Copies of this chain bind each other. A is one copy, B any other.
Amino acid sequence: MSKLQIGILGATGVVGQRFIQMLERHPWFEVAWLAASDRSEGKNYSEAVRWRLKTPVPPKVAAMKVSPATPDGAPRIIFAALDASIAAELEPKFAEAGCAVVSNSSALRMKSDVPLVVPEVNASHIKLIDTQLWRNKSGGYVVTNPNCSAIGLVLALAPLHRKFGLDTVMAVTMQAVSGAGYPGVASLDILGNVIPFIRNEEEKMEEETHKLLGQLNGHGIIPAPFAMSAQCNRVAVEDGHTESVSIRLKAKARPEEIIEAWNSYRAEPQELKLPSAPEKPIVYLDANDRPQPRFDVDMGAGMTAAVGRLRPCGVLDWKFTVLSHNTIRGAAGAALLNAELLKAKGYLGSP
């Protein structure tokens, strides 16, 4: 079976690089086309990119020419890692031209007919695709994954919401610098510092979490009806968003039931054995000082969210810490898993 050809929009950015890294040995997909900003166009990828990962640029990709960011000549499956303002313009163009656009951008996430999906959480939402005008006209569509700060949280919440019902969520994040792209955060801003502000991040976390845990009905997604508040901070960590979370549940739960809900959680990606699905989407760590980015960010090849420190909360019911890899589970890996889900569900055509 030959592999499906993938195009990458925003191929030179931090998330674009992760796409290329994660696709290097992928069993289903292969990188066939790259686009980036105008100033990269026409260059070899290795010249255009300032590669910031520890593994080298795959030689095949290094030699590829960077194409203009237009649908002509692009493959039918596009992974998009664009800034929101550019995504708002380009993603619809590619969808209109018949491409399956698997997007990591925030531009269209909250659009009522665009699925915002974490395959372990709300795989069924991909059916929204069928309501997109693009889909009906050209076969193209857009599917999105959430913000890197929402994805770890929602993985931790999903099993609890399913089993006990969520009433209230409060989350305070300590986010890695790679979440801001490259060059992103200036070293003078973050060395020995905490920045208690990330533009639009709290708003995204709150609305995306509600949509992700929402219900699909005939008219779209009904956001899940719990109360939520997020506070977002930047810290001097390379990769891995850590979050201090408090929750109130609708049903009574004992701590061992909560931990069991996390550790035993399996969903469609695990059942379908999607190539990038971690064996365990969530793992509870017993040590009293974990999870920590330095040690736990790469669990499940960066696709597992690590949870720890479950204990009673003096205001809500429970508090805990969750950590997930922001450029793998929170960005490139999220989109890739969405693409794998789409393929498994027949949305990428017959191979």
Contact = CB atoms under 8 A, between A and B. Distances in A.
Contacts of A197: 288-289, 309
A315 B194 contact: no
A235 B316 contact: no
A251 interface: no
Contacts of A53: 295
Interface in A294-325: 294-295, 298, 308-309, 313-316, 319, 321
B177 A187 contact: yes
A32 interface: no
Interface-central residue, A231, A236, A291, by most chain B CB under 10 Å = A231
A223 B62 CA distance: 46
A294 B231 contact: no
Secondary structure of the A contact surface, majority rule: mixed
Interface string A180-223: 00111111111111111100000000100000000000000000
A237 B190 contact: no
A23 to B, nearest CB: 20
Given A186-B182, A187-B187, A187-B236, A194 B174 contact: yes
A314 B203 CA distance: 10
A329 to B, nearest CB: 16
Contacts of A230: 314
Interface in A254-287: none
A194 B175 CA distance: 10
A227 B314 contact: yes
Interface stretch (A116-124, A238-246, A331-339): A238-246
Contacts of A194: 174, 235, 237, 242, 292-293
B315 A228 contact: yes
Interface in A151-199: 168-170, 172, 174, 177-178, 182-197
A318 to B, nearest CB: 10
Contact of A187 (B168, B185, B196): B185
A197 B186 CA distance: 18
Q: Which 4 A-B residue pairs are closest in the complex by CB-CB distance?
A: A183-B186, A172-B172, A197-B289, A229-B314
Given A193-B237, A196-B292, 14 more contacts: A54-B294, A182-B188, A183-B183, A187-B187, A187-B190, A191-B191, A192-B238, A193-B293, A194-B242, A194-B292, A194-B293, A196-B290, A197-B288, A197-B309
